[in-house]
Amino acid sequence: MDNLWHHPILLKLIFFTYYINKFYEIDNGTSTSYFFRDDERVAKETSEGMEWYLSDHIGSTSLMVDETGHEVERTDYFPYGQVRSGGLEKYGFTGQENDDDTGLMYYGARYYSPEYRVFVQPDTLLPDPYNPQALNRYSYALNNPVKYTDPSGHIVDTALDAAFILMDLNDIRQDPSDLWAWGALGADGVCAVVPFATGGGLGVKGIKAANEIDNAVDAEKAVTNTEELVKTVDNGLDAVDNVKWLDHAHKHMASSKLPWKDVVKGTKHGSAKYVQDFNDNDIKELETMVWKEGTKVEQNGKTYSVMKFDDVIGASSGQETQYVQVEYSDGFIHGRPIDESRYNKLLKDDSLK
């Protein structure tokens, strides 16, 4: 039996990966160096050269390019991480490592199954008893993978905090003397380290818009009270999103019993549909996020918020689409996937930008 393991055919089937550290690994004799910006993987180098990672808003590898900027690989995902197309890069959905042998993804504390949309081991940390979505210790990202990530396998955090901070930094770059921008950055910074707290900077900006404070002393006072502002984020956000959501009786929820290609085809003369992974709560969270974070436009007396996603989000006009519109009416919002032409048409009137 011992000699069996030295059979040349069996030896060819045995592969090993040696993880020296997060910057260097050897996979079946091929060495790869990785480069990071903070904790984000941005590039890798092999004997064939450098490749760069381009990620979406939750850190999933969407595009790999070489040193000349040419596309090497493009990957599209379903919301819970299953690969729609591409997927050759081992660090894919939310930047985590995919195990080809098991189909699972390694999140540090435990493994995650994108096929079944759950972790295969329960979380060893006690859940928040006041958050019903956290009571299932196997669930992934509070069952809301569009908004949340779980980089360690333990703590869910919002993918929007980084986007808020980048917007604040851009505001500061444009006007370093704007104390409100600095206050927004501080509030978003606090939210980034407080689980489930999001949008502190929007609270600051909402208060600024509501009070129209132009006194530097008052602004400085607001900046120094950033932590208090975080406690009133919900009130501050009222200026932006004091709305209720309409579900349209599941009009835009796709049937899981039909092949996706048939769902797409049916939208040519029927209602637009979100991807089949989305349930009612997913659609509510997504449309609420689009309303808060999308580009606001006004057309024919109606107010819309539109957003383009990195991955396919649904189908409209008989084709897959990455675009969503949310319409506001009498204190309520409701949305649907739209095609690119509709998206571009809405953006022509940018009076609310």
Res. 7: pLDDT tops 90: no
Give the mean model confidence (pLDDT) for residues 70-82: 94
Instruction: For the chain, give the percent of residues with pLDDT over 70.
Output: 69
pLDDT at 311: 85
Buried b / exposed e along 247-283 (16+ C-beta atoms within 10 A): eeeeebbbeeeeebeebbebbeeeebbbbbbbeeebb
What spatial distance separates the first Cα and last Cα of the chain, rounded to whole Å? 72
pLDDT at 324: 94
pLDDT at 340: 94
Does the predicted model carry a pTM greater than 0.85? no
Residue 189 vs residue 314, higher pLDDT: 314
What is the DSSP secondary-structure string of 49-106? Answer: EEEEEEE-TT--EEEEEETTS-EEEE-EE-TTS-EEE---SSB-GGGPEEETTTTEEE
Give the mean model confidence (pLDDT) for residues 140-165: 75
User: What are the pLDDT digits (tens) for 255-288?
Assistant: 888 899 999 999 998 899 999 888 888 888 888 8
Q: Binning pLDDT at 50, 70 and 90, where does residue 178 land?
A: low
Single out the residue of 36, 16, 40 nearest to residue 26, CA to CA.
16
Residue 235 vs residue 288, higher pLDDT: 288
pLDDT at 216: 45
pLDDT at 148: 86
Lowest mean pLDDT: which of 94-98, 106-110, 191-195, 317-321? 191-195
**107 in Cβ contact with 153 (< 8 Å):** yes
**Which residue type occupies 301?**
G
Q: What is the rounded average pLDDT for all residues in the chain? A: 78
pLDDT at 114: 94
Single out the residue of 323, 292, 289, 325 nearest to residue 308, CA to CA.
323
pLDDT at 215: 47
User: Quick check: helix, strand or coil at residue 150?
Assistant: coil
**Which of the residue ranges 174-178, 247-251, 286-290, 341-345 has the most confident prediction, judged by mean pLDDT?**
341-345
pLDDT at 81: 94
